Amino acid sequence: MKEISENEGTVESVAKMILKSKYLVAFTGAGISTESGISDFRGKDGIWTRKDKGLPPKQGKHFDEAEPNTAHLALLTLQELGILKFLISQNVDNLHLKSGILPELLTELHGNYSIMKCLDCDARYKKSEIGWDCDEHGRGFRTEPSQENEPKCPKCNGRIISSIVNFNDSMPEKEMLLSREHSLKCDLMLVIGSSLSVNPAAFFPRMAHDNGAEIVIINIDSTKMDKLADTRIYEKAGVFMEQVVQRIKKFKVI
Ligand code: APR
Ligand code: ZN
């Protein structure tokens, strides 16, 4: 039985915090995509949770088949209303871009499965754009040997690899700088579907908090930073965020 925490929020209270905010930033993790059929890592049925029990990952949807859910679409609405100023995501499933979130208002800290990058000039390319075929060329991870016939960078002929950041890979510099900039600018951060267990990504909600921003954590299970939260929501992100945006639309009478 979950104990009711004193900072537990409601649709109404979170909608009011969002409307009052001057610079709202959202920070998302794998939990925002479970309602799209993609497993998370440390939730009750997560990939690492099951692995620790000696179980294989739950059969989820492949990224190609998954569609954005109501939580992704709620963030898009907040962006379209001019309320959500920036989005920092740890997810590689491409669902924020697929939902219509503007690429220039998003950082994907751990990369994006559908995007390749040049090791030499850091140019980014959609797999389809440069003819990268995983069946023929493999996953393109930096730690794997390059293939004879794999596509090269059209700009500088450098080696192309997956943009996904694996453990022990260095973090993408541009994304880290942008995430830091917006974490320090925000006065409210919505942290949605992350256990906040992995650094340096989890530094950003802490950075925002230490810089005086209010923190709302929307997460079914407890997280490593629940104590930082001004408001804590234990609901499913898709259900809760859809209600919040409906409430905001009523307040704004649009
Ligand atoms: N609504 C709200 N919370 C949810 C939902 C949901 N529908 N589904 C799952 N959650 C919560 C889980 O309770 C869990 O605490 O989302 C959280 C997801 O946490 P993780 O699985 O640890 O995912 P994340 O925080 O994104 O992991 C960070 O770890 O393995 C690496 O690179 C990987 O980017 C990933 C990083
Ligand atoms: Zn290049």
Q: What is the 3-state secondary structure (H, E, C) of the chain?
A: CCCCCCCECCHHHHHHHHHHCCCEEEEECHHHCHHHCCCCCCCCCCHHHHHHCCCCCCCCCCCCCCCCCHHHHHHHHHHHCCCEEEEEECCCCCHHHHHCCCHHHEEECCCCCCEEEECCCCCEEEHHHHCCCHHHHCCCCCCCCCCCCCCECCCCCCEEEECCCCCCCCCCHHHHHHHHHHHHHCCEEEEECCCCCCCCCCHHHHHHHHCCCEEEEECCCCCCCHHHCCEEECCCHHHHHHHHHHHHHHHCCC
So what's the pLDDT on residue 18? 98
The helix-helix angle for 11-20 and 237-251 (nearest 10°) equals: 60
User: Residue 103 pLDDT more than 90?
Assistant: yes
Taking alpha carbons only, the member of 35, 143, 31 closest to residue 89 is: 31
Instruction: Evaluate: CB of 191 within 6 angstroms of ligand 1.
Output: no
Angle at CA of residue 185, ends 82 and 20, nearest 5°: 50
So what's the pLDDT on residue 142? 87
Point out the ligand nearest to the CA of residue 160. 2
Sheet containing 124-126, strands listed edge to edge, beginning at the edge strand earlier in sequence: 124-126, 115-118, 160-162
Chain mean position to CA 189:
13
Instruction: Evaluate: CB of 219 within 6 angstroms of ligand 1.
Output: yes
Question: Residue 39 — φ and ψ, nearest 5°?
Answer: -70, 145
Question: How many whole angstroms from 103 Cα to the centroid of ligand 2?
Answer: 20
pLDDT tens across 139-149, in order?
Answer: 999 888 888 89
Question: Residue 45 — φ and ψ, nearest 5°?
Answer: -120, 25
Q: What is the 3-state secondary structure (H, E, C) of 20-65?
A: HCCCEEEEECHHHCHHHCCCCCCCCCCHHHHHHCCCCCCCCCCCCC
Instruction: Evaluate: CB of 205 within 6 angstroms of ligand 1.
Output: no
Ligand 1, atom 25: closest residue by C-alpha: 194
* For range 33-48, the mean pLDDT: 97
The model's confidence at residue 104, banded by pLDDT at 50, 70 and 90, is very high
Top mutation candidate among 14, 32, 38, 41 for ligand 1, by most atoms within 8 Å of CB: 41
Question: How many whole angstroms from 155 Cα to the centroid of ligand 2?
Answer: 5
Residue 182 appears among annotated catalytic residues: no
pLDDT tens across 49-68, in order?
Answer: 999 999 999 988 999 999 99
Instruction: Evaluate: CB of 220 within 6 angstroms of ligand 1.
Output: yes
Average the pLDDT over each of 88-92, 98-102, 139-143 and give the range with the smallest value: 139-143
Residue 41 CA: distances (Å) to CA of 46, 142, 193, 206: 4, 22, 11, 21
Instruction: Evaluate: CB of 41 within 6 angstroms of ligand 1.
Output: yes
pLDDT tens across 199-237, in order?
Answer: 999 999 999 999 999 999 999 999 999 999 999 999 999
* The CATH number of domain 2-109+170-253 is 3.40.50.1220: yes
Question: How many whole angstroms from 183 Cα to the centroid of ligand 1?
Answer: 20
Using the structure block, give the residue that is written with the tokens 């209010």: 214
So what's the pLDDT on residue 1? 43
Active-site hit among 62, 72, 96, 110: 110
The per-residue pLDDT of the chain, averaged, comes to 94
* For range 17-45, the mean pLDDT: 98
Where in the chain are the domains?
2-109+170-253, 114-163
